A and B are shown apart, each in its own frame.
Chain A
Amino acid sequence: MTTQIPPQTRQTQIKLDYQAAEYTSFMDRLKQWLFNGYASLFYLFLYAPIFVLVLYSFNKSRFPTYWTGFTLEWYKILFNDHLIGSALKNTLIVSISSTIIATIIGTMVSVGIERYRFRAKSAVDGLLFMPIIIPDIAMAIMLVVFYNLIHMDLGLYTIIISHIAFNISFVAIIVRARMASLSSTMEEAASDLYANEWNAFWRVTFPLLIPGILGGALFAFTLSLDDYVITNFTSGPGSTTLPIRIIGMTRRNITPEINALSTMMLLTAMLLVPLSLWLQRREDMS
């Protein structure tokens, strides 16, 4: 014990300890600086372009090289652009309808796979992952060939069907993860309390799956919202969506109108983030 150490030795001991402490605190501070610097660079890299984009959407000048003053002109042009308006309408039709349908089918598929045993289970399982693994471009071509084969004219419907096709997989995977985390004891407890399969599902399993289902739907919606490759291949006349329209605009010349549009989309995404966080919290609660 320290009480046994003579006073002199103890002093040197304390001094040494003090030096060691000073050294480690220097190392700690250095590490802290390096870490802070790295983190700042990381966020700068991530957010500087976005900041510039937002800033120049309010720039009077047509060219992004100079800042010539504040204006809302580009937003006015944006809101009066009929082509953008109809593209936005198409995008919302496609995203919302494909999200709803894909969420319903995807949920049913995952419940089926998780709860029932059948022979082709692993095959169905594998097939479900395919749309996630297959490159977009390959999937796009396959879909076009398929629509040709069944003589279906390309248009909004074909886009919607295509989006459903890839969204099902994403929804199913998210819902299945949720499903797997629920133990089967919940359903057993329900059936022990006189609930038949129908009631056990709707009263117990489904409410517990809701966070997963909503999370899957949100994910599907975002994927659908900015899909370009598959949409471009499967679209027809009059079915231009927002991403296609934007890329078309940039081909000709980039105007600050695109900056304004991107800023609006950014705003929308920022509204979706708290929504998904809220869903996450609900998930933690149960």
Chain B
Amino acid sequence: MGKPAVELVDVVKRFGDVVAVNDVSLKVEDGEFFSLLGPSGCGKTTSLRMIAGLETATEGDILLRGETMLGIPPFKRPVNTVFQNYALFPHLNVERNVSFGLEMKKIPKEEIETRVVEALEMVRMPDMAKRRPNQLSGGQQQRIALARALVNRPEVLLLDEPLGALDLKLRKAMQIELKQLQEQVGITFIYVTHDQEEALTMSDRIAVMHDGNVLQIGSPEEIYEQPINRFVAGFIGETNFLEGTVNQINGKTIDVSLDEHTIVKAHSNSSAHKGQKVGVAIRPEKISLASTGMIQGQILEIIYIGTDTRYIIRLKDDTSVTVREQNLNRIQSNKYQRGDEVGMNWDPAHALVLTE
């Protein structure tokens, strides 16, 4: 593998007293679909704007293919952006919007024409060339914004919550289409989103951000199966946290005592030591119900959601645990009733000990 397409080295961005981005370092490989994921206000847009050159980093360095971008204005950077609200030029028709970047680069007229046609075909909008942006629906504007960026064949495409304004159904369809498009053109995508499901669906790798920091970088599986701390575990998907103290470490499993009578088993974590206060994180779908188990509780609520049934179970100490069981049988067997005492078990390999 060659130089990373984009590299951020100890990047800090402050707006007066506000630290928007706090010491972020990351590498985005060539051709990768890389997502910045985190709640609103965590610094995703600011990070993206620094890569585009629309914002200057307070500290640190930003490199494109190993070359520093410090002091290089946005119009000289080989990156293009799909803005959050598309930012199409209202006074230009679709065709002129798409050809804008090529005209600025002084590409010959004939080549501009063919490339614009290609780009509009690529986003499946070949007949919209003469329309004005205000004559297009949100989804169509989104496609034009994409065409306007991709037509320039940038080294890196930056996308700031491009599907955020679309309704759920269209968003789901566009997620798949965007992913296919990215594989087809082979351009590196840096994709900003606050929607964890979207990030998991589309990305090769995800950087989870919180309060200006990157907490974890990894593939969707790694982020989901091995979150490094409570924030990541809680933000990506659904997680139950059980608070306890490390009781014993035996090889691959750790015994964590929740109270004097209850000890649960979890996967070992090298940074945990005996007597330490830790959280045991376990996904709802990894717990199975039985008459007795590692922990006991009372069923508070049974929610049928088609593919799954969700049980909310209250433990003795009043914390509640969510359990998901897939509905494999056509007719749901009424195994449990509200108010039943049940036990919960899991494979220790699926329970994580989180020290942070």
Contacts and interface: CB of A to CB of B under 8 A. Distances in A.
Contacts of B79: 192
A46 interface: no
A207 B75 contact: no
A194 B90 contact: no
A188 interface: yes
Contacts of B152: 193-194
Contacts of B89: 186, 189-190, 204
B54 A188 contact: yes
A285 B89 CA distance: 12
A203 interface: yes
Interface string B76-94: 1001110101011111000
Contact of B104 (A185, A193, A286): A193
A192 B75 contact: yes
Contact of B90 (A188, A196, A208): A208
A40 interface: no
Contacts of A208: 90-91
A25 interface: no
Interface string A187-205: 0111111111001100110
B275 interface: no
B105 interface: yes
Contacts of A200: 75
A195 B103 CA distance: 9
Contacts of B53: 191
B90 A195 contact: no
Interface string A73-108: 000000000000000000000000000000000000
A192 B81 contact: yes
A195 B88 CA distance: 14
A225 to B, nearest CB: 30
Interface in B121-156: 134, 148, 152
A123 B76 CA distance: 35
B87 A186 contact: yes
B91 A196 contact: no
Contact of B80 (A186, A193, A285): A193
Contacts of A196: 73, 75
Contacts of A195: 75, 100, 104
Nearest to B86: A189
Interface string B310-328: 0000000000000000000
A199 B89 CA distance: 14
B147 to A, nearest CB: 12
B343 interface: no
B191 to A, nearest CB: 16
Interface in A261-286: 285-286
Interface residues of B, number: 24
A195 B76 CA distance: 9
Contact of A191 (B75, B85, B91): B75
A194 B80 CA distance: 9
B80 A192 contact: yes
A109 B166 CA distance: 39
B119 to A, nearest CB: 13
A190 B91 contact: no
Interface in B46-88: 52-54, 73-76, 79-81, 83, 85, 87-88
B148 A193 contact: yes
B4 interface: no
Which residue, A203, A207, A285, has most C-beta atoms of chain B within 10 A? A203
A286 B90 contact: yes
B88 to A, nearest CB: 8
Nearest to B90: A286
Given A199-B104, A285-B134, A191 B74 contact: yes
A188 B74 contact: yes
Nearest to A282: B91
Interface in B102-118: 104-105
B100 A185 contact: no
Contact of A194 (B87, B104, B134): B104
A204 B79 CA distance: 20
A194 B148 CA distance: 12
B101 interface: yes
B101 A185 contact: no
A185 B83 contact: yes
A184 to B, nearest CB: 9
Contacts of B104: 193-195, 199
Interface in A97-155: none
A191 B105 contact: no
A191 to B, nearest CB: 4
Given A193-B152, A194-B105, A208-B90, A185 B75 contact: no
B54 A191 contact: yes
A194 B73 CA distance: 9
B75 A189 contact: no
Interface of B: 52-54, 73-76, 79-81, 83, 85, 87-91, 100-101, 104-105, 134, 148, 152
13 contacts: A185-B87, A188-B54, A191-B54, A193-B75, A193-B80, A193-B101, A194-B76, A196-B75, A199-B104, A204-B89, A204-B91, A286-B90, A286-B91
Closest 4 CB pairs of A and B: A193-B101, A194-B104, A189-B87, A286-B90
Given A191-B54, A195-B104, 8 more contacts: A186-B89, A188-B83, A189-B81, A191-B73, A192-B83, A193-B101, A194-B104, A204-B91
